[in-house]
Amino acid sequence: MNKIKQLALKYLGHTNQELTESFDNLLDECVKEVMEIAQLKVYWQRYSLEHPLRVEELDILISSESLEFNLENCKECIVIASTLGVQIDKKIKYYASYDMSKGIVFDAVASAYLEVGCDEYEDKYLPENRSYRYAPGYSDIPLSLNRLFATRMNLYKHLGISIDQNDLFIPMKTMLGIIGIGKVEKTKSCKGCRQLNDCEFLRRNQTCY
């Protein structure tokens, strides 16, 4: 099973249960359609990182204990944004009104495609001495950082990304992440996550990473 399908199944709440033939076919259909429609675009910049956490060139303070913990040895960071474009959003909205079951699966597959695509891009183009990608809205990292980075990096110009009143991206299948550069010894963990005591992944003996 490919990475996109595996990750989509995690998003859908599947663990190790066997897939029915019809559901497996639906997954394959959605993966194929997402790959045909999606237009993955990526934009990133490298910045100086001060402690307590501050992206110097953009003058952005980051109030996050978990991120401070994970990036404590980093003097630089990369802020990376990626999007699948508006056509994916249109298909998600179409299936949500036309075929709810397919809409849910298509949405999960699109999220997985974005995640896997960004991972592969990072492996190809970014330095090896980097941390994982940490996104606003996860753990204790403020979601409001989406707006600050989108504005100061001019993501509308570079990727056609805008931001709504709730600090969520438009198109929906858009992701922004902060990556530390330097001596990174930490591994992914649930430490400091504000969802630790109410995590759907942990309830299924999984993690979000």
pLDDT tens string 134-158: 999 988 999 999 999 999 999 999 9
The pLDDT of residue 172 is 96
**Between residues 68 and 199, which one has the greater pLDDT?**
68
CA proximity to 26, closest of 40, 5, 2: 5
| Predicted structure pTM score | 0.87
Work out whether strand 54-55 and strand 174-182 pair parallel, antiparallel, or are unpaired.
unpaired
C-alpha separations of 92 from 30, 45, 113, 180, 198 in Å: 11, 30, 14, 33, 27
One-letter amino acid for residue 84 of the chain: L
pLDDT(118) > 80: yes
Whole-angstrom distance, CA of residue 95 vs CA of residue 182: 44
DSSP class of 176: E
Decide: 12 and 108 in contact? Cβ < 8 Å: yes
Task: Assign 89 to helix, strand or coil.
Answer: helix
- pLDDT tens-digit map of 9-65: 999 988 767 888 999 999 999 999 999 999 999 999 999 999 999 999 999 999 999
C-alpha separations of 88 from 27, 84, 113, 118 in Å: 16, 7, 11, 16
> Which tokens hold the place of 183?
């001596």
Whole-angstrom distance, CA of residue 120 vs CA of residue 125: 9
Q: Which residues, listed in sequence order, are joined to residue 44 by a DSSP beta bridge?
A: 80
The CATH classification of domain 3-203, taken from the options 3.40.109.40, 1.10.390.10, 2.60.40.10, 1.10.3720.10: 3.40.109.40
> Which tokens hold the place of 74?
């980093």
Between helix 3-11 and helix 21-37 the angle, nearest 10°, is 110
pLDDT(98) > 60: yes
The pLDDT of residue 133 is 95
> Which tokens hold the place of 63?
């109030």
The pLDDT of residue 90 is 96
**Between residues 166 and 186, which one has the greater pLDDT?**
166
pLDDT(208) > 60: no
